[in-house]
Structure 1
Amino acid sequence: MVSRICVFVFLLSLVHLVLSQEDTVQLDEVTVSALQFERFTTGDQLATISLDETLPSLDQALSQQSSIYFKSYGNGQLASISFRGTSASQTNVLWHGISANYPTLGQMDFSQWPTWMMDELQLSMGANSSLYGNGAIGGTVLIDSDISHQPKGASLLLGGGSFGEFKTGIKATYGKGRVKAHTNLYRSFLQNDFKYEYNGETLRQNNASSLIYGLKQQMSYTIKGTRLFADFQYLLNDRDIQPTKSAPTSQDELTTKNTRLAIGANQEWAKSSLNVTFAYLQNDQIYNEIDQTTGNQYSSLVTYWFQLNDQLDFRVGGNTNLYTASSDSYSDEFHDLQADAFTSVSAKLIQWWQSVLNLRQSFYADQSHFVPSWSNELIIWTTENHKLKFNESFAFGFRYPTLNDRYWSPGGNLDLEPEKSKTLDGEFNVEMPVASNSLSIKFGGYHTWSKDWIVWLPSEAGYWVPQNFREVEISGLESSLEISGDLFGDYQFNASYTYNRSINKTGSNSGKLLPYTPEHNALVSWQHQIKKYFNYRLNSSFTGKRYTTLDNTERSSVAPFFILDFTLGREFELPLFDISIDASINNLLDANYENLNNRAMPGRNYQLQLIINYNNR
Structure 2
Amino acid sequence: MKAPSALAGLILVTVAVLGLAADAAAEPAVFEEEEVVVTAKSVKTPVPQTLGFTEIITQQDIQEAGATQDSLAGALAANGQPVDENGANGPAALQLDGAPAGQTQVMVNGVAAQGGFSGQADLSAFPAIGVERIEIAHGPLSAMNGANALGGVVNVVTDLTGATRNRVALTEGAFQTGRFNLAMTRDDWGIAAGVSHSDGDRSRSGATGRYLLGQYDFLQEDDQYLRLYLQAFNKTAEDPGPESAPKARAEQSDANYALQLNGKRPWAGGDWEYKLYSQRWETEYDDPDAFRHDRYHSTVFGADAAGGYAWGGHEVQSGVSLKRTLFDIANTVYDGERTQEDWALFAQDTYSLNDRLWLVGGLRQEWSSDFDSPLLPRLGLVQTVNPDLTVKYGYGKAFRAPAPRELYGEGSWAVGNPALRPEDGERFDLSAEYRQGGSEWQINLFRTRLKDGISWVPVNPADLSAGYTWRNFAKGRADGVTVGWKRTWRQWITGRVDYHWLDRQDQGTDGVYRSNNFFGRHQLVLDLTLSQPRYDYGFSWRFVADRTSDGVELPDYDLIDLNFRYRFNPRLTLGVGCTNLTDRRYAIQKDYPMPGRSIQVTMEYFF
Scaled by the length of structure 1, the TM-score of the pair is 0.84
CA deviation after TM superposition for structure 1 residue 143, in Å = 1.8
Q: Which amino acid aligns with 1:154?
A: N
Structure 2 Cα separation of the partners of residues 170 and 143 of structure 1: 20
Structure 2 Cα separation of the partners of residues 532 and 65 of structure 1: 22
Aligned partner of 1:200 in structure 2 is none
Aligned partner of 2:597 in structure 1 is 604
Aligned partner of 2:400 in structure 1 is 399
**Preserved contact between residue 243 and residue 251 of structure 1 (Cα < 8 Å):** no
Aligned partner of 2:191 in structure 1 is 183
**Preserved contact between residue 57 and residue 79 of structure 2 (Cα < 8 Å):** no
**Preserved contact between residue 169 and residue 185 of structure 1 (Cα < 8 Å):** yes
Aligned partner of 1:613 in structure 2 is 606
Mapping for residues 525-536 of structure 1, pairs under 5 Å: 525-529=527-531, 531-536=532-537
Aligned partner of 1:275 in structure 2 is 273
Q: Which amino acid aligns with 1:36?
A: V
CA deviation after TM superposition for structure 1 residue 450, in Å = 1.1
Question: Does 2:381 correspond to 1:367?
Answer: no
SS at match of 1:104: helix
Query: Would the alpha carbon gap of residues 483 and 237 (structure 1) be closer, same or farther in structure 2, given more than 3 Å must change?
Result: same
Question: Does 2:454 correspond to 1:446?
Answer: no
Aligned partner of 2:566 in structure 1 is 570
Q: Which amino acid aligns with 1:414?
A: P
Query: Would the alpha carbon gap of residues 591 and 103 (structure 1) be closer, same or farther in structure 2, given more than 3 Å must change?
Result: closer
**Equivalent of residue 95 in structure 2, options 66, 75, 82:** 82
Q: Deviations over 1:256-289 (max 9, x none)?
A: 1011111232214796311121111111111128
Aligned partner of 1:19 in structure 2 is none
**Preserved contact between residue 172 and residue 178 of structure 2 (Cα < 8 Å):** yes
Structure 2 Cα separation of the partners of residues 559 and 254 of structure 1: 29
Structure 2 Cα separation of the partners of residues 101 and 70 of structure 1: 18
**Equivalent of residue 320 in structure 2, options 318, 330, 348:** 318
Structure 2 Cα separation of the partners of residues 518 and 509 of structure 1: 23
CA deviation after TM superposition for structure 1 residue 331, in Å = 4.7
Q: Deviations over 1:196-224 (max 9, x none)?
A: xxxxxxxxx32111111100111111177
Q: Deviations over 1:407-441 (max 9, x none)?
A: 226632222211111100011221123xxxx1111
**Preserved contact between residue 373 and residue 422 of structure 2 (Cα < 8 Å):** no
Aligned partner of 2:71 in structure 1 is 57
CA deviation after TM superposition for structure 1 residue 27, in Å = 3.3
Question: Does 2:310 correspond to 1:307?
Answer: yes
Structure 1 Cα separation of the partners of residues 164 and 38 of structure 2: 18
Q: Which amino acid aligns with 1:109?
A: D
Q: Which amino acid aligns with 2:379?
A: W
**Equivalent of residue 171 in structure 2, options 154, 159, 171:** 159
Q: Deviations over 1:77-118 (max 9, x none)?
A: 222332211212111111232221414222122211111153
Query: Would the alpha carbon gap of residues 223 and 124 (structure 1) be closer, same or farther in structure 2, given more than 3 Å must change?
Result: closer
Q: Which amino acid aligns with 1:452?
A: D
Mapping for residues 87-102 of structure 1, pairs under 5 Å: 87-102=100-115
Query: Would the alpha carbon gap of residues 517 and 567 (structure 1) be closer, same or farther in structure 2, given more than 3 Å must change?
Result: closer
CA deviation after TM superposition for structure 1 residue 469, in Å = 1.2
Question: Does 2:219 correspond to 1:222?
Answer: yes
CA deviation after TM superposition for structure 1 residue 532, in Å = 3.0
**Equivalent of residue 468 in structure 2, options 446, 464, 478:** 464
Number of residue equivalences? 553
Mapping for residues 114-153 of structure 1, pairs under 5 Å: 114-146=127-159, 150-153=162-165
Query: Would the alpha carbon gap of residues 58 and 145 (structure 1) be closer, same or farther in structure 2, given more than 3 Å must change?
Result: closer
Aligned partner of 2:557 in structure 1 is 561
Question: Does 2:356 correspond to 1:347?
Answer: no
Structure 1 Cα separation of the partners of residues 271 and 502 of structure 2: 40
Task: Give me the CA root mean square deviation.
Answer: 2.5
Q: Which amino acid aligns with 2:483?
A: S
Aligned partner of 2:383 in structure 1 is 378
Query: Would the alpha carbon gap of residues 147 and 566 (structure 1) be closer, same or farther in structure 2, given more than 3 Å must change?
Result: closer
CA deviation after TM superposition for structure 1 residue 127, in Å = 1.4
Query: Would the alpha carbon gap of residues 31 and 458 (structure 1) be closer, same or farther in structure 2, given more than 3 Å must change?
Result: closer
CA deviation after TM superposition for structure 1 residue 537, in Å = 0.7
**Preserved contact between residue 344 and residue 358 of structure 1 (Cα < 8 Å):** yes
Could you tell me the percent identity over the aligned residues?
Answer: 17
CA deviation after TM superposition for structure 1 residue 480, in Å = 0.5
**Preserved contact between residue 76 and residue 83 of structure 2 (Cα < 8 Å):** no
Structure 2 Cα separation of the partners of residues 167 and 323 of structure 1: 33
CA deviation after TM superposition for structure 1 residue 152, in Å = 2.8
SS at match of 1:288: strand
Query: Would the alpha carbon gap of residues 418 and 214 (structure 1) be closer, same or farther in structure 2, given more than 3 Å must change?
Result: same
Structure 2 Cα separation of the partners of residues 535 and 103 of structure 1: 38
Structure 2 Cα separation of the partners of residues 33 and 124 of structure 1: 10
Structure 1 Cα separation of the partners of residues 35 and 537 of structure 2: 22
Worse overlay, 26-35 or 496-505: 26-35
Structure 2 Cα separation of the partners of residues 65 and 536 of structure 1: 14
SS at match of 2:606: strand
Structure 1 Cα separation of the partners of residues 488 and 46 of structure 2: 27
CA deviation after TM superposition for structure 1 residue 44, in Å = 2.3
**Preserved contact between residue 558 and residue 596 of structure 1 (Cα < 8 Å):** no
Q: Deviations over 1:457-495 (max 9, x none)?
A: 112382322110111111011101111111xx6110001
